[in-house]
Amino acid sequence: MNQEINQAYPKAYWDIDNAAKESGFTMASDALTCSLLKTLAATKPGGKFLELGTGTGLSTSWLLDGMDEVSTLISIDNEARFLAIAQQFLGDDDRLGLICTDGADWFDQNKHLKFDYIFADTWHGKYLLLDEAIAMLNPGGLYIIDDMLPQPNWPDGHQEKAIKLIEALEQRTDLVLTKQCWATGIVIAVKKAA
């Protein structure tokens, strides 16, 4: 076995990748992580998906590729110039709702929403408002985070934040959790039935 990605990349992937590089965006999820996101998305037919941290839409394109035609994806980001790239290349997909907003504001206004799959790739829903994100998961819903292994772009003190986040997730009794020392470090959790 090797780590080659032997599934098709999303149609818009390379255009988004090129536009992201031109824009100076350097925080995209790596292709291994995105491949896993696509595979896991296929486990939720008719699912309601949430992506916290669209960036330029690279991981968004993989999620959409894994989703069936009746699933929906809300993807939020607070950086309009990067979100515009996702809009340019993915905005015609009726399953996708791109929202430019502050994460804390979005959580405050949408507490009532429930999801089958949450990919938290930004501060809100991961390092901030973790409880609120987990509360939005339906039983059997997936909560996925990446970048849990040290990254070259981490600021001073960030490793301690990552360690505390993992500890907080491990202490929860409402999740079944697997940590993977693969790609950039991925955590996959499933919400238990009440």
Q: Is residue 68 part of a domain?
A: yes
Neighbours of 32 (CB within 10 A): 16
pLDDT in tens, 150-169: 888 888 888 999 999 999 99
Q: What is the CATH number of the domain that holds 144?
A: 3.40.50.150
Domain tally, the chain: 1
Q: How confident is the model at residue 12 (pLDDT cuts 50, 70, 90)?
A: very high
Cα distance between residue 139 and residue 182, in whole Å: 26
Q: Is residue 2 part of a domain?
A: no
User: Could you give the angle at the alpha carbon of 6 between the alpha carbons of 4 and 7, nearest 5°?
Assistant: 135
**What is the per-residue pLDDT for 27?**
79
Cα distance between residue 192 and residue 147, in whole Å: 24
**What is the per-residue pLDDT for 157?**
86
Residues 103/52, Cβ–Cβ less than 8 Å: yes
pLDDT in tens, 125-145: 999 999 999 999 999 999 999
Domain containing residue 140: 13-191
Residues 118/143, Cβ–Cβ less than 8 Å: yes
